[in-house]
Amino acid sequence: MASKAKKTTRVVVKERILCEATRLFGERGFGGVALRDIAKACDIPLSTLSSHFPRKQDLQEVVFKRAVEIVIKRDLTSRLATGSPKQRFRRYLVNVVELFLSDLPEMKVMDREFQELDKRSTFDLMARTSRDRVSMESQKFIADLAENTKSDILESISADQLMRMVFAGIYGMVKLRPVYHQVTRGRVASNEALTHDIVLMFERMLGI
C-alpha cells in the first residue's frame, strides 16, 4: 500500500514539474530557465526534480512533445466530428489560427521553439517530434480531410507538406499583425477578422 502511495506521489510531482516547466519555458524561453527555477516554482528540492529529469535537455524534450500532444489532441482536432469535408477542413484552419492567437501555455512553448528553429538542437527536436505517433496521426487526419475536399491543388501536396504550409502561413500572418494593421489603414483587426481573412486566403489558395 505504501509503495502504491509513493508511486502516486511521484506521478503527481512529475506532472507538477511538467506544468511549471511548460509555463516557465513559454514565458522565458528554454535558455532563460534553470532547473532550480522549476524546482522553486514546484516547491520541491532540486534533487527531487533531478530524479525525474537529470538534464534540462531531457525535460525540454518531454515538455515539447507533451505540448504537441495536448495541442493536437485537445485543441487542434477538436470540434471536427461533424459537417462536410470542406466544413471540417475550414474548422481545422480556424482551430490553427485560434491556437496561435491563444495564451495556452503549451502553445507558448511551441512558439518559443518555432522562434529558435535556426538552432540545430531545436530543429532536431522538432524533426524527431514530427515522427512521433501523435504527429503522424495528425498528418493522416489532415490528409483524409484534404483528400475529401476534392481540391485539385491538394492532390499534388502531401499531408506533411500541407500541414507545414498551413502552420507556416498562419504563423507568419499572426506574427506580422502590425504589418497587417498597416495594410488595413491602421485599423486594429480583431481576432475574428484576422481569422476570417486567413481562412479565406487558404480557401482561395487551395480551391476549397
Whether residues 87 and 97 fall in one domain: yes
CATH code of the domain containing 125: 1.10.357
Are 46 and 127 part of one and the same domain?
Answer: no
CA-closest candidate to residue 113, choices 18, 177, 30: 30
On whether the CB atoms of residues 208 and 202 are closer than 8 A, the answer is yes
pLDDT of residue 45: 94
pLDDT at residue 158, rounded to an integer? 76
The tally of domains found in the chain comes to 2
**What pLDDT does residue 16 have?**
96
Which segments of the chain have a pLDDT < 70?
Answer: 1-8, 75, 177-189
Its pTM stands at 0.77
Tens-digit pLDDT profile for residues 148-206:
777 777 777 777 787 788 888 888 888 876 666 555 555 666 788 888 888 888 888 88
